[in-house]
Amino acid sequence: MNLINETLFSDCLKKLTDNLVTLSDKPEDTHESTLRALWLAASGNYVASQKVFDLELPDLSESQNISLNDMINKRLNGIPLAHITGIQEFMGIDIHVNEHALIPRKETELLGYAALNKINDIVNKNGTAFAFDICTGCGNLALAIASHQPNVSFYAMDLSNEAVSLAKDNKNFLGLDERVKFLVGDLLEPVKNMQMEEKVDVIICNPPYITSGKLKDLPQEIIKFEPEMAFNGGALGIKIINKLCQEAIEFLKPDGWLMFELGLGQGEAILERQKKKRLYKTFESIKDDNGYTRVIMLQK
């Protein structure tokens, strides 16, 4: 960069550092990665914040400088970085995002890679695998797993028409053709009359799991700009999880797996409830780097 742009970068970084509160559930969006992503976007190159340090920043023209400042102001007004750039990386692939679906989080990669490992094992044994992705949102889980494993096919479902429309756009963007089919409906409702009983190897879900009473405490960047239905898990935060555990069993093959993400502190209660119901024979869990159970895996 020339001296003028170096000074501009320094001034913009100080503005973001002094005024922007970053969120723990979006660790990739640091002050510098935010500025680099917006800088590249102002130059016409829209890049996920996870990849910005791999690219050289170009000098900006006067009009691009104006665009950069406009985007910085949007960010300081709470608009998520991924909504400004329109893109987010998840499990190594780029996903288009907008206000109609949850922005994929790094923490959900725990579920994604755990599911990919189970699916890889099934493919190695049987040659192919068939899976459901419930509460698919922008389609990130199903699409990322299908991108990494060419012998799995998915039915992916969401209650939101707008989210499913975005997910279909992502499928086209990634060139996954018909291996991932998106359906609109509540949990497993879209497939209940499709003779899918005991035909599914793996069911995955990143459900809403925040208790209704805590929604008001979420940062404005989340609750104002991302859909509430992607967070609201009911009075105890586990309403959808409990319903899914009950309904999934009829669709899973013998030895099939149900896998889902959950909120902090919910793991023990959910595992205890499912052990008492005796619908599943194997119970596994995955903890995050802080020791919290964030993924539960139940085998039929």
pLDDT 10s digits, 120-140: 999 999 999 999 999 999 999
Q: Name the β-bridge partners of 9.
A: none
For the chain, give the percent of residues with pLDDT over 70: 100
pTM here?
0.93
| Closest by Cα among 150, 133, 123 to 259 | 133
pLDDT of amino acid 236: 67
Which helix (H) or strand (E) is 222 found in, with range?
helix 220-223
Query: What is the fold, at CATH topology level, of the domain defined by 106-299?
Result: Rossmann fold (3.40.50)
d(CA 166, CA 282): 35
Q: What mean pLDDT comes out for the span 284-290?
A: 93
- Which pLDDT tens digit goes with each residue over 28-51? 999 999 999 999 999 999 999 999
Based on the number of CB atoms within 10 Å of its own CB, is 53 exposed (0-12), middle (13-18) or buried (19 or more)? exposed
Spell out the domain ranges in the chain.
3-85, 106-299
**253-256 contacts, C-beta under 8 A, 24 or more apart:** 253/198, 253/199, 253/200, 253/201, 253/300, 254/198, 254/300, 255/299, 255/300, 256/200, 256/201, 256/202, 256/203, 256/299, 256/300
For residue 1, pLDDT beyond 80: no
- Is 1.10.8 the CATH classification of the domain at 3-85? yes
For residue 17, pLDDT beyond 90: yes
- Which pLDDT tens digit goes with each residue over 137-160? 999 999 999 999 999 999 999 999
| Closest by Cα among 13, 1, 136 to 68 | 13
Q: Are 255 and 300 in contact (CB under 8 A)?
A: yes
Is the dihedral angle over the CA atoms 214, 218, 222, 223 positive or is it negative?
A: positive
Let me know the angle formed at the C-alpha of 76 by 70 and 79, rounded to the nearest 5 degrees.
85
- Which pLDDT tens digit goes with each residue over 46-71? 999 999 999 999 999 999 999 999 99
Helix axes 140-148, 161-174, angle to 10 degrees: 20
Please give the backbone phi and psi of residue 74, each rounded to the nearest 5 degrees, phi first: -60, -45
